[in-house]
């Protein structure tokens, strides 16, 4: 299992997930830089993602939806704020409606995904920061730790393919 820790911190308004992969940094980076690969791991296994827009550049945006086993669609959006090829990228992440437009009143997070080499491959640190403890608590109650862990744990199979 790639996820080695998931730490919510209500005082600092963060959720930090750390994972390790038996693949080089540039290969793990490709999973996030290619929307077709990202679709295979974004969201829990029973909620596959479809990215309809993906402009992986500072100022670029991504829009996607995950489909439940019952066919319900749950949308999301990203706005990329910084990209340092193969080592990190930052983005704002929020919930979207059926037309993939941002939903007012739902939590928005600022995210930094960092990738560094290890002797065995790659360590990834995913840090999400929320505007308030209430927003972080809301996504924790929605199952973000479990969902994100299941999603990240799918990466090994994609890397092995």
DSSP secondary structure of 6-42: EEEETTTTEEEEEEEESS-HHHHHHHHH-HHHHHTTS
Maximum CA extent, the chain: 44
* Residue-wise pLDDT tens digits, 24-55: 999 999 999 999 999 999 988 999 999 999 99
How far apart, in whole angstroms, are the C-alpha atoms of residue 148 and residue 9?
16
Residue (of 127, 132, 126, 82) closest to 106 by Cα position: 132
Q: What is the pTM of this model?
A: 0.95
Half-sphere exposure of 130 (CA within 13 A, CB side): 22
CA distances from 40 to 7, 100, 144 (A): 24, 19, 18
Per-residue pLDDT of 116-146, as tens digits, reads 999 999 999 999 999 999 999 999 999 999 9
Question: What are the Cα distances from residue 159, in Å, to 35, 77, 79, 143?
Answer: 15, 25, 26, 25
Q: How confident is the model at residue 157 (pLDDT cuts 50, 70, 90)?
A: very high
**Average pLDDT along the chain:** 96
Residue 104, pLDDT score: 93
**What are the phi and psi torsion angles at 113 (to 5°)?**
-110, 120
User: Which two tokens mark 52?
Assistant: 């309809």
- Per-residue confidence at 161, pLDDT binned at 50, 70, 90? confident
Answer for the pair 32, 25: CB distance below 8 angstroms, yes or no.
no
Can you give the pLDDT at residue 1?
74
Q: 85 pLDDT band (50/70/90 cuts)?
A: very high
């Amino acid at each position: 299992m790639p996820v080695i820790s998931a730490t919510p911190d209500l005082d600092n308004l963060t959720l930090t997930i750390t994972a390790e992969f038996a693949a080089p940094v540039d290969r793990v980076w490709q999973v996030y830089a290619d929307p077709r690969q990202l679709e295979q791991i974004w969201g829990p296994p029973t909620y596959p993602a479809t990215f309809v827009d993906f402009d992986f550049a500072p100022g670029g945006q991504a829009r996607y939806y995950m489909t439940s086993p019952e066919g319900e669609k749950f949308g999301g959006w990203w706005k990329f704020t910084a990209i340092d090829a193969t080592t990190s990228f930052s983005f704002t992440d929020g919930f979207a409606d059926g037309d993939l437009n941002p939903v007012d009143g739902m939590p928005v997070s600022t995210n930094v995904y960092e990738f560094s080499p290890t002797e065995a491959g790659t360590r990834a640190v995913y840090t999400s920061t929320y505007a308030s403890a209430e927003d972080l608590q809301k996504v924790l109650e929605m199952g973000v730790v479990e969902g994100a862990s299941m999603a990240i744990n799918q990466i090994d199979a994609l890397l092995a393919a």
